[in-house]
């Protein structure tokens, strides 16, 4: 299985707008998540082994960020025909089973993933209070084993952004499976 990593981030770029259906049956746009604080947009899916390995850490991150009034949004853009585990129905089922503390959106036509420049799952985009890209790195320092995590890189970066400080650590790209584009 090839591993994909995002390109060098263009920090300062504005967050693309979107209007997508969530697993809770509601539609959401960028305006629903703007509150003058940083926010996280993450591209994930149900089937990817990289996402599965960190899923519980994503849930913890979502819970921890909610306490700081920071919005977290998950988007699945994978081809649901070739990867039925990533169909809207299965996204909804997974979000309910795991009690996701974040909104899980379905990018059925993949236009949102393309507008963000997302290339893999997981792929993370942290925006500052002005909706400018401020962090595009990995979740932490161990993609596979939660017991080996020594630094919560993304959480630390978000707290720095929240406190109007520059991100002090390196922004090491996330790695994962390619987004499964519709052919």
- Mean pLDDT of all residues in the chain? 94
- Tell me, yes or no, whether 161 lies in a domain: yes
- Tell me, yes or no, whether 71 lies in a domain: yes
How big is the CA angle at 117 (ends 114 and 123), to the nearest 5 degrees? 110
How big is the CA angle at 157 (ends 135 and 66), to the nearest 5 degrees? 100
Alpha-carbon distances, residue 88 vs 2, 4, 93, 125, 180 (angstroms): 25, 24, 9, 22, 15
Average pLDDT (137-150) is 90
pLDDT digits (tens, 9 = 90+) for 59-104: 999 999 999 999 999 999 999 999 999 999 999 999 999 999 999 9
pTM for the model stands at 0.95
Domain span at 120: 19-178
Q: Which CATH number does the domain housing residue 78 bear?
A: 3.40.30.10
- Tell me, yes or no, whether 3 lies in a domain: no
- Tell me, yes or no, whether 84 lies in a domain: yes
Report the number of distinct structural domains present in the chain.
1
E-strand ranges in the chain read: 19-22, 27-29, 39-43, 71-76, 103-106, 120-121, 123-127, 133-135, 177-178
């Amino acid at each position: 299985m090839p591993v994909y990593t995002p390109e060098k981030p263009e920090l300062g770029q504005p967050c693309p707008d979107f209007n997508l259906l969530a697993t809770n049956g509601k539609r959401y746009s960028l305006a629903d998540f703007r509150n003058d604080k940083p926010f996280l947009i993450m591209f994930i899916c149900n089937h990817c082994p990289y996402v599965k390995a960190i899923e519980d850490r994503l849930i913890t991150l979502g819970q921890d960020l909610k306490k700081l009034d920071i919005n977290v949004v998950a988007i699945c853009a994978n081809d649901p025909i070739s990867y039925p585990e990533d169909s809207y129905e299965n996204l909804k089922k997974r979000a309910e089973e795991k009690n996701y503390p974040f909104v899980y959106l379905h990018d059925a036509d993949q236009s949102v993933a393309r507008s963000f420049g997302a290339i893999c799952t997981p792929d993370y985009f942290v925006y500052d209070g002005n909706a400018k890209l401020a962090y595009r790195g990995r979740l932490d320092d161990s993609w596979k084993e939660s017991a080996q995590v020594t630094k919560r890189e993304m959480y630390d970066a978000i707290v720095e952004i929240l406190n109007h400080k520059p991100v002090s650590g390196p922004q090491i790209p996330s790695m994962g499976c390619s987004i499964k584009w519709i052919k």
